Amino acid sequence: MRKTASTTAPVHPLLAERWSPRGFDQAHELGDDNLTALLEAARWAPSAQNSQPWRFLVTRRGEPAHGRLFATLASGNQAWAGAASALILAVARTADDDGRPRPWALYDTGQAVAALVTQAQADGLAVHQMGGFDSAAARAEFGLDDTLTPVVVIAIGRRDAAAELPEPLAARETAPRTRHPISDLLLPARTARTPAAA
């Protein structure tokens, strides 16, 4: 099933056809070549001063680490994410070893994840990103120090249109995709405020 975006101008099919399914093929395995391609795409994402602050904790279904990461997910995500071939924790290095903050690390990590997701779409894989997880539990479970901030858990696999999902997730799986209109995204270029006279 395709859920192509209804756009007001032509965009690349990799972007127009990307969506976030919850129905995954429980028999599909993510091969090493596929995984390497995803990480390679992320590796070449842009970043402030080429700092490359993203890190990825990769777990594949059946591995002990997969169960540990799965346990940090919100219950609503646990209802379907276990069928995905892999769960990846994206982490941002938000501070240097000396404690100096990296203010753009979260933004840069988001760009790396976007590159990974686009590569997955090109390779015929399905991806669903989840903010619904216990960040503190993930940090403790995997021994992440204070310079590393868990950002998102990424479910990757092959979509299964026949996967049985509980409601209301089943309805969301087939519902049309929606977005705010472009006009809602634009901020007015207001004139700067003049300081009050003393």
**What CA–CA distance (Å, rounded) separates 131 from 112?**
16
> Would you state the pLDDT for residue 198?
58
**Confidence grade of residue 192 (pLDDT, cut at 50, 70, 90):** confident
**What CA–CA distance (Å, rounded) separates 154 from 174?**
21
120 vs 197, residue with greater confidence: 120
pLDDT tens for residues 92-149?
A: 999 988 889 999 999 999 999 999 999 999 999 999 999 999 999 999 999 999 999 9
**Over residues 46-70, mean pLDDT:** 98
Q: Give first-to-last CA distance, the chain, whole Å.
A: 65
- Domains of the chain, earliest start first: 28-160 (3.40.109.10)
> Would you state the pLDDT for residue 197?
62
Detail the DSSP E strand segments found in the chain. Answer: 54-60, 86-93, 126-130, 148-157
Does residue 178 surpass a pLDDT of 90?
A: no
pLDDT tens for residues 161-176?
A: 878 887 888 888 878 8
**154 CB-contact burial (10 Å; exposed 0-12 / middle 13-18 / buried 19+):** buried
